[in-house]
Structures are given as structure tokens and as C-alpha cells.
A and B are shown apart, each in its own frame.
Chain A
Amino acid sequence: MYRYDQIDQTLVNERVAQFRDQTRRFLAGELSEDEFRPLRLRNGLYIQRFAPMLRVSIPYGLLSSRQLRMLAHIARTYDRGYGHFTTRQNIQYNWPQLERVPDILADLASVEMHAIQTSGNCIRNITADHLAGVAPDEIADPRPYCEIIRQWAALHPEFSYLPRKFKIAVTASPADRAAVEIHDIGVRLKRGPNGEIGFEILAGGGLGRTPIIGKVIRAFLPQVDLLAYLEAILRVYNRHGRRDNLTKARVKILVRALGAQEFTRQVEEEFEANREFAPRLEAREVERMAAFFAPPPYRQLEDSAGGGTGAGAPAYEAWLRYNTRRHKIAGYRVVFVSLKKHGEAPGDMTAGQMEALAQLADRVSFGMVRATHDQNLVLADVPQAALPEVWRELDGLGLATANIGTLTDMICCPGLDFCSLANAGSIDVAKQIHARFDDLDYLYDLGPIEIKMSGCMNACGHHHIGHIGILGVDKHGKEWYQITIGGSSTGPAALGEVIGPSVPKDQVSETIARLLEVYVRERHGDDERFVDAVRRIGIEPFQERVYETHHLPA
């Protein structure tokens, strides 16, 4: 992984000192709430429903065991003993005290971490494929490019007060596990005609109130121009993005208003005009950065079918099938750590679990852990012979629910329980769905289904791109839920369609059960996924079933 040098370390240390002084001035009344807000947001600090919330950056989801132990320490020392992993591969703490946040940031800096630009109208954490470097299908490791972009974006003097937040995702795989089409900028690694690496650039995607799929604005950008082109996009956006209306300020609205063609023309014009001053990304710099992400010292192993004690038990076999993935190196396997146990809020993890996982990672996965944008964690480099042992340990920790990719592997925002923006709860709806669909064999029969749930239209839970999307709405002070189907983050990305009037809270799992009933009846063979069936037959058969009785309002 990337390691800080003196410049990186000095920068985060000075950032802590700066924020400590800003917090002091706020508490002393020298800064008003309006003046302090943009400063604290740029350090990840929100004022929430019950307490401040601190969002810590995990660049492209990559963590060392040492860093994970520090996250556990912070949960124990400054919070209530747990943290919440988010859809941006970050972690949030829901109960820190404002006065102690500078100390938390200082603790983070001691392990090469920070909370810089995890909120506010600036360039946010760069996200990437959580299988980067181990996926058999990738063109090249995207992480060196992510780190290059992270450094370019950190405290960028020109782009620190944008019209609105700005999210960049990078993928190097056709499977696109980074959902680049729903980002302000999506970067796809491509090979050029001579095998050289370049990028397809997308712009103007995003969810929120106005969900839009990003448009390709450059089919192939040479590597040397990556930062210059990002700078051109950001400059066009910073100058012309709307600042009069917060809900129309994202770059997607500018791209839509201008049209992708005109937006592209302006970006290209700016790119050409600024060549002399824009940063260049030389091949040597990419090589220097790539050295940080060199493969770990893999042993020469043979692929096996699992083996070891514990093999053969049905629970182990299910876990092996659903919670592990193929690795590009023979004898190794990728292990998903499920943060979707029945009864727990999706993405939540206790300090004890973090510490135990850090220890396990040291033993079996080169001391590294990754956060996914589906709110799970990954041990990316596990020798196949160690799988039964890893399963037993994770099972003992409550982290081996064999549901990765199934219905109960839900994405879910913190909702009304914690968030001051939410209209409705999402965590207890997740629990309701878990309770209704607790039969794993039934879930396995259903195949891959993504449920994504947001407590309000800001769409932190990405409901628009869920195969089944659930959006909390407020109706006369009561919590109701609007259901969409047919959304997808990839292959190609699509926005779900609303099936009809929203349903009351106690009917959410019943509604899902009916959707699944139609799917099971209509599906073509075992291989047709729910979302593919929706694409093929449309939403009408689903609507008919959901709204056919008095259980639900017509």
C-alpha cells in the first residue's frame, strides 16, 4: 500500500493543528456556526441528530491491520465501541464529542490516515474496485492512479470551494465493481492500440434527488494527461456549475443543461488552453507509485477445492460458495467479511471485531483489509488451505453470514436513527427484511439480488441502482417506503423504476416477498437474475402482484 513520506505526514499533521485551532475559535465564539460549517465539513465532521458524526477517509478502501486497530481504538476511546462502514469505502463514527475530534484526527495521523475532504463541497474520497490487484479480469491495478488522484485532489487550492460535492471513482475491470457510471467523474482504465494504458472518462453521473447515468466525454485519454483533464473538468464545473440552488449544483445538472456534447467541448477547450500550466503525469511517476502496490510475497501454491478440517460441513460449503471469490494467483482466494448479519445494522462493526479481524489479516492475508462500497470488508489474499480456519474465526466473530451478493447483503444508510436529513428509518427495515428472509436456502435459490435502501432522497444508500431500491419518504409524519425495481450499478448501469405508491413500514418485506414471487414464477432458468427478468418482462407483472389486494393501498 502507499506509505507516507515526510511531505504526506507533514501535511496531515499540519491539517490537525489547523483544525484544532479552528475548533478552539468556534468554541470561543470567534467563528460563527456558518463560518465553522465549511471548515468542519472538510474535516469530515457533521452535526447530526444526536451528536456530531465523524467520517474518516479510507482511500480507495485500503487499510492495513495497524490502521484497522487504530479505527478500533477510536471506536473504543471516543465513541460507543463501534463504527459504520459506508458506501464510499469510508468509516463513520456516530457519537464523538466535538471537543475531542482534533485528538481523533491526531490519532489517525499517527497511522497515516485523515478525514480530509470526506464532506463539504470539494473533491471527496477516491473510490475504486475493492478487488483491485487481485481480480483476474482487470487491465492493470487501478490503485496507483487512485493515489495519484488522491494527492492531486488533497487541499487543491483552486477546487476546495466547489458548487457541491464531487466524487471520483476508478475501475480497471469490465465488471466495474466501482460503479463509475454514477460518479461525477468515472475513470475506466483502457489499453490503447499499442497496449499502452489510458482512460475512458465519464462525467455527470450521480444519484441523489436527480439520478443520472454519467456520459462518456473522452473515449481514450493518454496517461500523461490524466490530471490535466481532471483539472479541465473541475475548472469548467467550478466556473459554471450552479451555485444558486443546492439541489441543482452537482456537475450532472451542468452536463444535462449544456448537453454532454457542449460540456465536452468546453472541457476539451479548457484542456487545450491550459496545457502549459496543467500537471503532467509522466510514466516514471506512475511506476514510482505502482511500486507501492506491488503484489505481496505470494507463495507457490496449487489451486485446491478447499480442504482442511471443517471442509464438508454445509455451512462452510455455503460460505465458501457465497463469501469467497476467485483470485488471480493459484492457491489463493478472496474472502468477503460480511457486515450484514441478521440483527445488526448493515456496515456496523464493533471494536472487538475490528481488532480480531486485524489479527486474522496479519496471520492469513498479508496484514491488509479492504472496505467495499457494498459495506462489507475483504481479506484479499487468503491461501486456500487456510479457508476453513478463516471461516471458523469469522463465524465466531459473527462475520461469516454466507449472504454476499444475496438479498440480505443490503446496502443501507444510517437513516432516521442517526441522520438529521432522513425521512424514515432504514436500519429497522433492514432487520425486518432479514427476519422475513432468514432461510438461506431460499436466498441461494433466488441468486444474486441487490437491495439498496436510503432513508431520504439524498440517496446515500444508492437506492436508484438497487435491483430492488427502497426509499424512505415522510407522509404526514409517518414513515413510508417507495419501491423501485430494475436498477443496476453496472452492466450497463440503470436507474430503477418506481412500481407504484409507497408502502407503509410494516409492509416492506411483504412487498419484497411479492416481487420475488413474480420473479420465481417468471424467471427463465436458474441463471436469469432478478434484474435481468425485470429488464425482460418489464415492471407490470410485478405491479399487478404487489397492489392486487387490500393489504396495500392501490
Chain B
Amino acid sequence: MRRIICRRELITDDVRYPGETPGPDTRAVQPLAQFIGALTAGQSAGPQAAILIGPADELEGLAVHLALVSLIVVEFPKIGEGRGHTQARMLRQRYRYTGELRARGALKRDQLFFLARCGFDSFDLDPAEDLQAALAAFSDFSVAYQDGSDAVVQVRRRAAAT
């Protein structure tokens, strides 16, 4: 059973990816193209769809359908992949997505702080990672210079307009 970090707690993952066997209470994730394709063909997709997006996927086509979506998994296939950070911030800010946003892939605890600040709230890390120890990484820093999605960090306020 796969364990993940969700809203800063360890839980058993109920998500099944393409190729994995579904169970009685599992959620199946579909790739973005498949989701858009089904909608285009007039099939019903919601209201609790779970979507998988890759680093090169554009979000513009997804934006209008976000009301149908309750989980977006963003893939980080390689160490050093950074497009997902921008995808997350755009989903949270520009497209006002409020559902679960998960980072999945070649990720260690060392990436958690930035990912959380970009708007991710669940994390499917490298299987070798010690998840209990990883939880401490959300507190790597207590201060920041930029606005972020996490509420716990003290952000440097630039002086406001008079």
C-alpha cells in the first residue's frame, strides 16, 4: 500500500494510476488529454474527476473545466524538474483551483517546502523517502521573501503604496 503525505499527515493513498488495479474505495486518475477528449466527445466527466498532468501540459484547456475536478496530480518525472511549480501557482492563483493538488515523482523531502509554497497540498514522494522524517521539511524555513500558499511562513512585506 502506497503511503503519501496529504495536508501534512501520512495517509494510505486511495488513488490508482493508469495500469494499477482499482479497489472498492479507490479513485482512478486519467491523463489530461483523455479527460479533455471525453468532454469534447460529450461524455460526462465530473463532478469529482481526478486528472494527471505532465510537465509539458498546457493548462489553458483545463481551466474552464476545473469545477468538475477534485484532484490534480502533477508529475515530476526527473530530478530537477521545475515546470510543475509554475503549473501549481497558475492553478491556484489564475485559475482559482481549490481542490487537492498533488506533486508526484522524483521528489525528496528537500523539495517539499517550495512545493507547498507553490500550492501543492499532497505529496507522493520517492518510495525510498522516510515520510515521517520528511514532515519536518515543511518547517525548513520560518520566513520567506515571496508570497506563498502556506500560511505558516512569515513573509517579508515590501512597503505598500501611500
Q: Which residues of A contact B (CB under 8 A)?
A: 7, 10-11, 14-15, 18, 22, 30-31, 34-35, 38-39, 121, 148, 151-152, 154-163, 235, 238-239, 243, 273-274, 276-277, 279-285, 287-288
Contact = CB atoms under 8 A, between A and B. Distances in A.
B62 to A, nearest CB: 15
Contacts of B82: 121, 159-163, 238
Contacts of A156: 145-146
Contacts of A30: 130
Interface stretch (B4-12, B26-34, B41-49, B151-159): B151-159
Contacts of A157: 85, 113-115, 117-118, 144, 146, 148
A157 to B, nearest CB: 4
Contacts of B80: 38, 121, 161
Given A155-B144, A159-B82, A280-B158, 17 more contacts: A148-B158, A152-B145, A157-B117, A157-B146, A158-B86, A158-B118, A159-B85, A160-B85, A161-B114, A235-B86, A238-B83, A243-B81, A274-B94, A277-B89, A279-B147, A283-B162, A284-B159
B interface, over-half SS: loop
Interface of B: 55, 79-83, 85-86, 89, 93-94, 108, 110, 113-115, 117-118, 130, 140-148, 154, 156, 158-162
Contacts of A14: 140-143
Contacts of A163: 82
A11 B114 CA distance: 14
Nearest to B154: A7
Given A160-B114, A285-B158, A154 B93 contact: no
Specify which of B118, B145, B156 lies most central, judged by the most chain A CB atoms within 10 Å of its CB: B145
B118 A282 contact: no
Contacts of B115: 157
A35 B108 contact: yes
B156 A151 contact: yes
Given A35-B108, A38-B79, A279 B156 contact: no
Contacts of B81: 161, 243
Nearest to B113: A157
Contact of B86 (A22, A238, A243, A279): A238
A156 B85 CA distance: 10
Contacts of B117: 157
Contacts of A161: 80-82, 85, 114
B159 A288 contact: yes
